[in-house]
Amino acid sequence: MTRPRYVCGMWCPYKRIGSGTFGEVWLAECAMKPGILAVVKVIDFDTDDEAADIAQEVKALMCLRWQQIVVNTWQYSMHDDSAYIVMEYCRGGDLHEYISRWGPLHEDQIRHIMSQLAQGMKALRARNISHVSE
């Protein structure tokens, strides 16, 4: 997969930060406001049904805008055989990176993280959205 030039007209992906079964994840900068960062998920699809499923999932994500519970989804677009999803960039990395850098979590930190996960799952359930993680 080659680096997309611009996504949603204003995001310029410049560094690939991950990849998986369904596509790639890029760090992007806002062309209109330099210094503003986002994550762009690029998901390839083969059929119109897959494209419709992705669009439905993104619309559901865009309805879940709660601070500290769900990473915000800002924009999305479809072009050729790929979906581009622009999401909030979390500078601190993921939980695995945090533990690798700082060591095991204290009980109060675990309690706080589990509470946030439970709130996020509750928000998904309230909207009849299933979550499957790889």
Cα–Cα–Cα angle for 41, 34, 81, rounded to 5 degrees: 25
Tell me if 41 is assigned to a ligand binding site. yes
Question: What DSSP element (H or E) covers 37?
Answer: strand 37-44
For residue 116, give every residue at least 6 positions away whose Cβ sits within 8 Å of its Cβ, in sequence order, or none. 68, 69
**3-class secondary-structure state, position 92:** coil
Annotated binding site: 41
Q: Which residues are annotated as a binding site for ATP?
A: 41
